[in-house]
Amino acid sequence: MNLITKRLQLREWRDADREPFAEISADPAVMEFLIPLQREKALGEWIDNQINHMQAHGFCFWAVERKEDGIFIGTVGLRKVGYEAFFTPAVEIGWRIARPFWGLGYAPEAAQACLQFGFDTLNLSEIIAITVPSNLKSRRVMSKLGMAYNPNEDFDHPLVPKGHYLRRHVLYRLLRDQWQNNN
Ligand SMILES: CC(C)(COP(=O)(O)OP(=O)(O)OC[C@H]1O[C@@H](n2cnc3c(N)ncnc32)[C@H](O)[C@@H]1OP(=O)(O)O)[C@@H](O)C(=O)NCCC(=O)NCCS
């Protein structure tokens, strides 16, 4: 299942994406607000998990390619939240774009296609997004997508160790009805 936007193609993963994905995940600017991802895991397990998620559920964090030149620029997509929290079960939207391609609106463009797929095709009633409070770029994308933030729903991520500086998270929500009203 591929999703097409004006400038991008969200497609299934290829082995040729593994090295560039590992490079993106080794960039300290990209990973500033993310738990480090070992090179071996970026090359193997992380992408394998997306492929398995696609087979199991029909969606995942897709590989994102720029249409004009076929360059792999990162990943944007949907996945089932893999831990228990007050807002689960839930499907989350997320993104990771290579540094040279920031600021061009690629993440929101790809994310809009994911929201449309999630609401119109998967018939989800809500899609959420999470990040750490200081990740303003990611929060900006959430806002641009029309997602709503409630400070009363800040939470400690159960998979991040107690005391870790990335443990506290913010939660953004988007209901299908809200999204359909805005689009
Ligand atoms: C968050 C991210 C996906 C945004 O992707 P993007 O395609 O650049 O999105 P946009 O072009 O809409 O830019 C979003 C905001 O980032 C900021 N930004 C854009 N380019 C930037 C740059 N070169 N340097 C610093 N900030 C920049 C701006 O505030 C922008 O908001 P604006 O459009 O109102 O000016 C990208 O920055 C990224 O991959 N970050 C690292 C991974 C990450 O944190 N993922 C989210 C985990 S929850």
Residue 100 in contact with ligand 1 by CB distance below 6 A: no
Q: Is the CB of 106 under 6 A from ligand 1?
A: yes
Q: At residue 36, does pLDDT exceed 90?
A: yes
Across the range 41-54, mean pLDDT stands at: 97
Rounded CA separation 128/91 (Å): 6
How far apart are the CA of 179 and the centre of ligand 1, in A? 21
Write out the two tokens for 36: 């480090």
pLDDT at 1: 82
Mean pLDDT of the region 44-72: 98
Mean pLDDT of the chain: 97
Nearest to 21 by CA among 47, 48, 3, 2: 47
What pLDDT shows up at residue 56? 98
Indicate whether residue 158 lines ligand 1 (CB < 6 A). no
Is the CB of residue 143 less than 8 Å from the CB of residue 131? Answer: no
Compute the Cα dihedral for 79, 127, 2, 102 and give only its sign: negative
What is the per-residue pLDDT across 120-173, written as a single tens digit (0 to 9) for each? 999 999 999 999 999 999 999 999 999 999 999 999 999 999 999 999 999 999
Residue ranges of domains in the chain, CATH in brackets: 3-182 (3.40.630.30)
| Nearest to 79, CA basis, from 97, 55, 61 | 61
pTM, whole model, 2 decimals?
A: 0.98
Say yes or no: CB of residue 97 within 6 Å of ligand 1.
Answer: yes
Q: Report pLDDT for 45.
A: 98
Q: By alpha-carbon position, which residue is closest to atom 8 of ligand 1?
A: 102
